[in-house]
Amino acid sequence: MNKRDIRAKARDYIRQAAQGSFSDLQPDPENPGYTVSRVFLGSLINPSGKFYTPWANSNVQACPRCQGRGTLTTSHICPACDGSAVLTVQWILDHSNEPREACIARLNSTPACIWITPGETFHCWACNHTGKQADECAYCGGQGSREAFEDSLFWEFLDEFAAAAGGYIESGEGDPCDTFYCVSFPVVTFAADEERAL
């Protein structure tokens, strides 16, 4: 699927859900004083129709262009260190508004910072101190799988359209493959209801 088709699929799900019935109101556990209505969108509605996690994803196909690496064999000069594989504290100070002491303290607390000259120069972590960065595969968005990339685009678009329609997306509690469009409504009490409660 191309990006336009994925966007249209997400838009159609939200359009259909927004026209649904919001009669089944339940107390919203996240927001006291609100009720929430959930409209079931479906199960495994993502373009691949597969359930997987980042650490267990053997059921998605590897990208045919990068063979699952997420990067291409071509590379470019690292823009952070300009190909030198080394960064200086002065370079960071020139590109930020932080005082020198705060900058060094932040770098000392960053596990990726490997000092060459303490307090002055360190290995560039943006390029893993090689001076070059591999070009990201545009076909899979650097994810190593076209299916996973299409699914991530779908979820981004679904969240975007849900927010624009005044709701949000939620997974099922019993089955994480189930997807719901949810809308929260404030609880409205009327004077007659308050009098009956007395």
What is residue 196's predicted lDDT score, i.e. its pLDDT?
58
What is the total count of domains within the chain? 2
Out of 92, 118, 136, pick the residue that ends a domain: 136
pLDDT band at 165 (very low <50, low <70, confident <90, very high): very high
**Residue 151 pLDDT exceeds 70:** yes
Domain containing residue 98: 71-136
Tokens representing residue 90 in the block: 């002065």
Three-state DSSP at 96 gives coil
Question: Token pair 């000092």 is at which residue?
Answer: 115
Neighbours of 27 (CB within 10 A): 12
Q: Kindly state whether residue 179 falls inside one of the protein's structural domains.
A: yes
| Number of residues assigned to the chain | 198
Three-state DSSP at 38 gives strand
Neighbours of 38 (CB within 10 A): 20
Task: In whole angstroms, give the CA distance from residue 112 to residue 118.
Answer: 14
**Residue 191 pLDDT exceeds 80:** no
